A and B are shown apart, each in its own frame.
Chain A
C-alpha cells in the first residue's frame, strides 16, 4: 500500500448546485418564478406573506412551499389565504436540517401544483447562516430583517446579506420603542452589500408592504415567461 494525493478542486456544494439547476429547469418549463424568502426565526416572513397575499396579486397565481424543521404552524396560517401551500419538513428524512437545500425542494416537486401557479414563494427555515449557502433553484433571494434584531446583523451574517437582492426591513412600527438606530443599520448594510434594494415595512400594520408587492410584480414579469 502507498499513499497518494489526488487533486480534486471541486466546490463542495457542486452536488447541491447541480440539483438546484435541475429544479430551476423544471420551474422554468412551467413558467413559474421562484422566490427564496429567508430570515432569522421570528423576523416576520409568514406575517409578511399573509399581508402580501391577503389580496389577489394582479392575477398572479401564488403558491407557497413552507420550510420548517417540524410542524405546520406557518402552513396552517397561510392556508387561510386559500392559496396552495405545501409543507416541507426537514425533520423526517432530512436530519432536521436548519435550512432547505436543492434536494429537499426536489423531493417536494411532485406535490407542488406547478401548472396552476405563476409564482412560488419558498419560505426557508428561519436561520441567517445555512440557507444562504444552499441554492434551491430560485430566481431571486429576498431576506427579511426585523429592526428588533439590532444594527449589527449585516456585519455578523455578511453572506446572507450579500446574497439577497432585496432586504425587507420589517417591524418599523416598533422603531419608536427601540434603541435601534436605522441609519446605523443602513450604514452596516451598505458596507456589506452596497446598493442592495431596501424596503422599510411593517407587516403588522401594512406600512410599506406595497413596495414588496410592486417588486414581486416586476420580478414575475422579468422571469416568469415560459421557456
Chain B
C-alpha cells in the first residue's frame, strides 16, 4: 500500500527536475529494507503520472541489497533479513551501509535539438 505514497513522492521529485521537458523514464533506487513491491510501485506510478509530463514514462527500479556493518568487530555482511545483530560477535552496534535507499537516481528526458543552453 505504501507504494502509492512512494510513487507520488517519486513523481513530484522527477517533475521538479524535469521542468517542461517530457520524461520518458525515471530511475529509482530502492533498498530492500524499504519493502517496495516492484509491480505495485509501477502500477501506482502509471496512475499518478497521468496528465503530467511523466505520463507513460518507464519506471526503472534498481533494487539495492541490504548491507550491514558491525561497529564492534568491523565485519560486513548481507543479513538474513531482517536481523540486526552481528553473526560473528553478536554485537547490536550495527550500522546500515546499504538497503535503506529510496532515491530518484535519474530521469530520461526528451530535449529539442539545437537548444543547448550550456547548462550541462
Contacts and interface: CB of A to CB of B under 8 A. Distances in A.
Are A and B part of the same complex?
Answer: yes
Interface of A: 1-16, 97-99, 101, 127, 129-130, 133-134, 155, 158-159, 162, 190-195
Given A3-B110, A15-B9, A133-B5, A8 B105 contact: yes
Contacts of B106: 5-9
A192 B106 CA distance: 32
A99 B109 CA distance: 32
Contacts of A101: 5
Interface of B: 1-2, 5-6, 9-10, 12-14, 16-17, 24, 28, 33-35, 81-85, 92, 94, 102-113
Contacts of A1: 110-113
Nearest to A131: B2
Q: Chain A interface secondary structure, helix, strand, loop or mixed?
A: mixed
Nearest to B96: A162
A9 to B, nearest CB: 6
A8 B13 CA distance: 9
A133 B111 CA distance: 34
A183 B120 CA distance: 58
Main secondary structure of the interface of B (DSSP, over half): mixed
Nearest 6 Cβ contacts at the A-B interface:
A194-B92, A158-B82, A12-B9, A130-B2, A129-B2, A191-B83
Contacts of B85: 190-191, 194
A129 B2 CA distance: 7
A194 B2 CA distance: 25
A6 B107 contact: yes
A9 B103 contact: yes
A143 B34 CA distance: 18
